[in-house]
Amino acid sequence: MSRLEERLRDAYRGAADAVVPATVRDLGEPAAPRPGPGRRPARWWRGLTPLAAAAAVTVIAVLAAVLPKPSSQDQQSPAPAPAAAPKFLISDASGRSPLEVRDAATGALVATVTLPTEPGSQAPAANAAADGRTYIGSVATADGYHYVVSLLRLSHCRSWLYQFQLNARGQPSAVRPFAVLPTVGAELGGLTVSGDGQMIGYTMSACTSSAPQPFYVAVTDMRTGQTKRWTTRAAGSLSLTGDGGMLYYTMNLRPGASVVRGMPTSAAPGSAADRSRTVVQGTAFGPADGVDFAGISPDGSTLYFTTYREGKFGLDFGPLRALNLATVRSRVVYVPAGQLEMVTADPAMQNFLLQIPQSGRRSLRLARLDLATGRVTDVPSGWLNPPGAILTW
Amino acid sequence: MSLIRLAVLLVGDQATAEDVVQDAFLGFHRAWPRLREADKALGYLRASVVNGCRSVQRARRRTLPGRVEHDLPVWSAESAVIAEHDRREVLAAVARLPLRAREILALRYYLDLPQDEIAAILGISRGTVSSTISRALAALGRDLQEEP
């Protein structure tokens, strides 16, 4: 054997030895069987139980013969640590100021954030609820400490953005206008911030007398202040990759025409339809299924999303799925005993806050799903009344 | 584990490799009733994994430009998986080879399979395996400035 061949074998061994059982996903995690008729089982896991029975006996014995013996280094390799759970959540239960800062584990109120009554004013003043005309559009964060909030005034056709940050005890700083983009001459809908905190993405509808009103997805680069916008027929949930390089957004036009599209933020302004590409189609899961929530992992490799369909008593929201964008395969990552009415992901896309209606939507179960372990932990939710508040991690 | 490791060598990252192997086992389960010779099972699985990895590589070429599609490949300079520079240099040189050559080298030098078995897995002639290995080693030798 030549020296080159030896180097080749050694390099292969080095790369292969880095894969140890502790780092390999368990076949059964974290999906759970979903009861009820009409539910499509998780494609990824389908048939694994009989596989274990039929194939394991025959194949594993054969595999064992070719398995390299684990080295002592393998056995010492630690499993990857799960992402830290967010400490606080921001609740926008009333849609108006103040925002509530709550302990993410207990739901206990930690602090409130009062937003300006008069949009555009420098200092936060009295409770904007008394104003009666100013509403909170969206709240977004890249790290669970620095937040951006959009306020809009109905029939004013203008939105104002503010920023604040929490300290380690959840106490907010002063609320200040968002320096890069203090105001926009449109009604802002969704809002998202890239993981590096350098790019902000949003949806907005321009207020004109023409019908239909122009609708846009847009990004603003916080380093340069440059804004780009793309026209689109609709946009709902939106999410940026960690480096702000890709923007993903849901588009629900009608039953059977609901998609998630992905677009490089480097694309030239123009029509989003021309610059983006469909990565998820609701019809892949049912003839009239739509996509509700969509969030991209910071590294841009996995898109998490939920689907819904028309049910007898309203919309039936489906499981949480993950789409591997490299293999273009999706799998179910969580099936609740109920419906996922609202899903909020933390910036790392490792923890999901699930709002699961109970008893015919009369009450609500709030739960945190840790994707790394598959563990679901209930969060006290008595304060969430009525259900369906926008929560932000 | 050996199949996941083989897939990692071909696609570069573990998460994708696990998906490929999972699909291979699923396909194996579906084909099990039609598989008459049990001793062909491992060969079938290996072929499924290699084919799955090839599909991934093709899908990656079709996907959107300008975004990270998967974890950093083990041979990238930024990857912490392979600490030693020499190993990473070799794997980076392998990554620059054509896809078929990478498949054959992994089967030959990682799994130590004989050439006729590689030929059976990939559905090509033994001669093609032999000539591909020769050309791949020559290319690697040039790239790494080493005698093949």
pLDDT in tens, A84-141: 778 899 988 766 778 899 999 998 999 999 888 665 544 334 344 445 567 788 899 9
To the nearest whole Å, the CA of A72 is away from the closest chain B CA by: 16
| Cβ burial A170-195 (10 Å sphere, 16+ → b, else e) | bebeebebbebbebbebbbbbbbbbb
**Residues composing chain B:** 148
Say if residue A98 is preceded by a cis peptide, omega within 30 of 0.
yes
Q: Which of A282, A274, A194, A191 is nearest to A231 (CA)?
A: A274
CA A180, A177, A182, A197 dihedral sign is positive
Closest Cβ opposite residue A68 in set B2, B56, B71: B2
Residues in chain B with CB shorter than 8 Å from the CB of A11 are 82, 86-88, 90-91, 94
Average pLDDT, chain B: 79
> Which H or E run includes B25?
helix B14-31
Q: Does B67 sit within 8 Å of A245, measured CB to CB?
A: yes
CB neighbours of residue B40 within 10 Å: 12
To the nearest whole Å, the CA of B125 is away from the closest chain A CA by: 22
At residue B35 the predicted structure's pLDDT band, cuts being 50, 70 and 90, is: low
Least confident of A66-80, A324-338, A345-359: A66-80
Closest Cβ opposite residue A19 in set B1, B45, B111: B1
Q: Is A253 helix (H, G, I), strand (E, B) or coil?
A: strand
Q: Does A241 sit within 8 Å of B90, measured CB to CB?
A: no
- Predicted ipTM of the assembly: 0.84
pLDDT in tens, A199-210: 999 998 877 666
Residues in chain B with CB shorter than 8 Å from the CB of A328 are 59, 63
Burial of A287 (0-12, 13-18, 19+ CB in 10 A): exposed
Q: Does B28 sit within 8 Å of A2, measured CB to CB?
A: no
Residues in chain A with CB shorter than 8 Å from the CB of B68 are 241, 243, 245, 299-301
> Average pLDDT of A29-45?
31
Closest Cβ opposite residue A9 in set B81, B88, B109: B109
Residues 302-361 of A with CB under 8 A from B: 324-329
**Token representation of residue A316:** 């039936």
Closest Cβ opposite residue A277 in set B28, B64, B68: B64
Between A80 and B100, the more confident residue is B100
Tell me the percentage of chain A whose pLDDT exceeds 90. Answer: 27
CB neighbours of residue A75 within 10 Å: 10
Q: Does A328 sit within 8 Å of B14, measured CB to CB?
A: no
Closest Cβ opposite residue B106 in set A12, A44, A300: A12
- Decide: A263 and A276 in contact? Cβ < 8 Å: yes
Between A20 and B96, the more confident residue is B96
pLDDT in tens, B126-143: 888 888 899 899 989 988
A101/A237 Cα distance (integer angstroms)? 22
Residue A226, pLDDT score: 92
> Average pLDDT of A160-167?
92
Q: Which residues pair with A99 in a beta bridge?
A: A113
To the nearest whole Å, the CA of A329 is away from the closest chain B CA by: 8
Q: Which of A198, A233, A232 is nearest to A218 (CA)?
A: A232
pLDDT at A73 over 50: no
Residues 213-272 of A with CB under 8 A from B: 241, 243, 245-246, 262, 264, 266
pLDDT in tens, A245-263: 999 999 888 777 889 999 9
Between A277 and A71, the more confident residue is A277
Residue A68, pLDDT score: 34
Beta strands in A241-360 (DSSP E): 246-254, 257-264, 270-271, 277-281, 290-296, 302-311, 314-324, 329-334, 342-345, 351-358
Q: Does B30 sit within 8 Å of A324, measured CB to CB?
A: no
Q: How many CA atoms lie within 13 A of B46 on its CB side?
A: 26
**Token representation of residue A107:** 């739901």
